[in-house]
Amino acid sequence: MPRTFVITSAFALGLSLATPVCGQQPFLVTTASGGRVTVNEATLYQFDGSAGGDLQDQAVVGPDLFHLRGDGVVWKNGLREFENPVAVGGTGRWIKIAADDVGNIFCLESSGRQTQRGAVIADLPNDGNLRTYVDLEFADDALWSLRDDGKVYRGGVEFYAFGSTPTSSQTRFISLTVDPSRSQLYALRRDGEIWRGQITTIPSTPDLIADYPTTTPQEEWMDLAFETSGNVLWAIRRDGVVFRMPIPGGSGIAYVVYPGDGIEGGKEFRSIVLLGDEPLAVRYDGRIYRDLSTTELCDLQGNGYVCFDLTLSQPVSDNAKIFKPVISTYTTTCYVGDPVDFPVLVSSTSTESFTFTPVEVPAWGTFDTQTNPPTFSGTPNAAGSFTFSVEINDGLNQPKVAKWKINVKESDTDPAKNQKPKFQKLKKVQALTGIAIVIPLRAYDADGDTLTYTVGEMPEGMVFDDGSQSGTPSLSWTPPICAGDWKVEIQVTDGTKGQSVKGKVQIETATPIW
């Protein structure tokens, strides 16, 4: 079922506080090697990374997202698009994907094979498998490939030889980027050297323009990005150090140090993108940092985040991963004659449309589907255990029957003995970022005492209504943050007799895809 992709969270809104092109909303596309693809912090796809190796790279062409797996399989917008052949005698894996302005897709294998939409267009030399290809760019109507010894190929022909033969891992080249306004290529070596060459039909003499500091493997440089609007070259080190160099004639200076340890597979940085003149970087564990702030902008959670891109076009989401709805159920313990009411709280990151069909409704209760959310209410006239159940259908998954337990006790049989209130227990609630939710709070008291509600620490923006004016204690919230888990403690006291009970509401925030 086609769906419209809308990012409603404050993370997306926060990105637009910069100066996006023509006022458009930016979308960050991040891919984890294990197969998870997120747009801003919403999970869009979950590929099988175990079948043929980890996801290696992505290409963003307007609204279209292309992903490359190590065995050569390429997906477009979540669907398998084509497969690259294995290089003859090659021992490498498919590592890079690039696109031209009209959407032609090119791939590069680490041993040097190049393809266009799965068809071989070149087998580049790799010195008997001693050399490894590491990056791929399309510029000036040509495909540019970078080998780890600094050799750059234009199409299938050697064009530049940057630096000298590597003597260690730190002296290998790792990243290639383009300055389209000046038709220049820049290549980054792990030890901080940056080389420049002109994009022409005839090679010019390359020059070394920077030698950034590095000492240990944790300080290896990992990625380059070029800021066209300000003519600035950006580079990021594995441990989170970001350097900025104006072009031409500038010298590189440290701009910001994001929190990282530089340990491979740990808190390392591998990729940097630009939003206007501000850098954004993703750490391997999914934490995203922006500009000069060393406080994370967002935590994608998980691990293995290796690819990072930005687009101003709304990504295609027709084939987005479908998630099952989350149903939050109350368990109620009350007394004969106590009014009972609670909402049917259902949410899904995949849809906002649900059909509710009652399955079992106590004779003393009613189910109203016209309220938003739907509501069960009634006043029990006899003690016993009752079940209220509803079939919930989101149109995407198999319908599911959810049950709410209601335990009704006899009214106060010993007025001389004060009893504690009974808190209405609530299963974990899923709240969607950018969308308001109201969570009613309810306790019942056998003695009929007036109850007072208080709450502990709440997440930013949450509002507590103690019910003194509205008659219904509740928590109201529009989650303005990234996905995460929250717990709010509730205390209910029956007044002068000193009896109280504590409860908690657990809230999981998620980002909708619809």
**Is the separation of the CB atoms in 504 and 487 below 8 Å?**
yes
Provide, rounded to the nearest whole percent, the portion of the chain with pLDDT above 70: 91
Going by C-alpha positions, the residue among 266, 255, 263 that lies closest to residue 216 is 263
Tokens 């649900």, residue located: 354
Of the ranges 88-97, 124-133, 329-338, 468-477, which one carries the lowest mean pLDDT score?
88-97
Contacts of 424 (CB under 8 A, 6+ apart): 330, 331, 332, 333, 342, 441, 442, 443, 444, 503
Rounded to whole angstroms, the Cα distance separating 65 from 481 reads: 25
Q: Which residues pair with 331 in a beta bridge?
A: 405, 425
From CA 491, how far away is CA 493, in angstroms rounded?
A: 7
More confident residue, 199 or 363: 363
Among 205, 242, 214, 212, CA closest to 227: 242
**Predicted pLDDT of residue 241:** 98
Q: How far apart are CA 260 and CA 285, in angstroms?
A: 10
pLDDT at 39: 87
Q: Looking at residue 245, what is its pLDDT?
A: 96
CATH superfamily placement of domain 326-510? Immunoglobulins (2.60.40.10)
How far apart are alpha carbons 436 and 65 in whole angstroms? 30
> Which of 65-74, 86-95, 164-173, 356-365: highest mean pLDDT?
356-365
- The domain ranges of the chain are 25-33+116-311, 326-510
Backbone angles phi, psi at 411, to 5 degrees: -60, 170
Nearest by Cα to 55 from 75, 39, 27, 40: 75
| Cα 465 to Cα 289: distance, rounded to the nearest angstrom | 35
Give SS3 for 170: helix
The percentage of residues in the chain with a pLDDT greater than 90, rounded to a whole number, is 58
For residue 36 the two structure tokens come to 């998870």
What fold characterizes domain 25-33+116-311? Answer: Methylamine Dehydrogenase; Chain H (2.130.10)
- Across all residues in the chain, what is the average pLDDT? 87
* 3-state secondary structure at position 332: strand
- Of 141 and 259, the one with more pLDDT: 259
Above 70 in pLDDT, residue 88?
Answer: no
CA nearest 17: which of 25, 28, 27? 25
83, pLDDT greater than 80: yes
What's the pLDDT tens digit per position in 247-274?
887 789 999 999 999 999 999 999 999 9
DSSP letter for each residue of 396-445: SS--EEEEEEEEEE-S-S-TTS----EE-EEPPEEEETTS-EEEE--EE-
Q: What is the pLDDT of residues 283-303, one digit of tens each?
A: 999 999 999 999 998 888 888
pLDDT reported for residue 359: 98
pLDDT for residue 15 is more than 50 = no
276/278 Cα distance (integer angstroms): 6
Residues 6+ away with beta carbon under 8 Å from 40: 7, 9, 11, 12, 15, 27, 28, 298, 511
Quick one: pLDDT at residue 223?
Answer: 97
380: confidence class by pLDDT, cuts 50, 70, 90: very high
What mean pLDDT comes out for the span 481-509? 82
pLDDT at 279 over 70: yes
